[in-house]
Chains A and B, each alone.
Chain A
Amino acid sequence: AQKITQTQPGMFVQEKEAVTLDCTYDTSDPSYGLFWYKQPSSGEMIFLIYQGSYDQQNATEGRYSLNFQKARKSANLVISASQLGDSAMYFCAMREGPDYKLSFGAGTTVTVRA
């Protein structure tokens, strides 16, 4: 079974608008961490935001916020005030329990239009 599901292969968003990228996850471990990474065409994976399973509040980092709905096992990324430089591939990932490796989803391509 897929641990991370990203159902949106590609999205278009107008500059300065907000965009929500969907991510659902599957784990039976009560302790886990959820990550979002950005991968521009240069190939490097850039860390954006982290949410721990026991965190009481949704994580925020600048224009990035994570809409964490534990009961629904979803961890959607919201990018506010989109910029042209936000055009990239975005990956949701999870680390479970005492494990150290990340399981990634298939990614969502975001294209920001001027």
Chain B
Amino acid sequence: GAGVSQSPRYKVAKRGQDVALRCDPISGHVSLFWYQQALGQGPEFLTYFQNEAQLDKSGLPSDRFFAERPEGSVSTLKIQRTQQEDSAVYLCASNPAGRGTEAFFGQGTRLTVV
């Protein structure tokens, strides 16, 4: 597709359930980022991939959060044993090279934990 695609757009999970959020970056984009955006706030960095290598996961809030990009294209963000504080919009972004001038964002996945 032409842009970054994320699925599902909306996810409701019961507390304690595991969830998986998918990101399809723009074809050929080397860099991929995950951000978490709480309601009414700006996005906060979670993790960064360059191709299949996860170069920075310093923003992941706990070991319940795990991200992968095994073939250097599609990425999955997995949250285990979800908690209410995990409720947020999860944004994926990509850009063509390590430090391109801008990142292209998807529409996000809104996760609600009940």
Which of A's residues lie within 8 Å of B, judged by CB?
A: 4, 33, 35, 37, 42-47, 50, 91, 93, 95, 98, 100-107
Contact = CB atoms under 8 A, between A and B. Distances in A.
A106 B40 CA distance: 7
B31 interface: yes
Contacts, number: 56
Q: Report, nearest first, the 6 A-B pairs whose CB atoms are least far apart.
A: A104-B42, A45-B105, A47-B102, A101-B45, A44-B107, A43-B108
B41 interface: yes
A41 to B, nearest CB: 11
Interface residues of B, number: 26
A50 B45 contact: no
Most B CB within 10 A of own CB, among A33, A100, A104, A105: A100
B4 to A, nearest CB: 9
B100 to A, nearest CB: 9
Contact of B31 (A45, A93, A100): A100
Interface stretch (B61-69, B78-86, B91-99): B91-99
A45 B33 contact: no
Given A45-B43, A104-B42, 17 more contacts: A33-B101, A37-B105, A42-B107, A43-B89, A44-B107, A47-B102, A47-B103, A95-B99, A100-B33, A100-B98, A101-B59, A102-B43, A102-B103, A103-B45, A104-B44, A105-B42, A107-B41
Contacts of A50: 101-102
B67 to A, nearest CB: 14
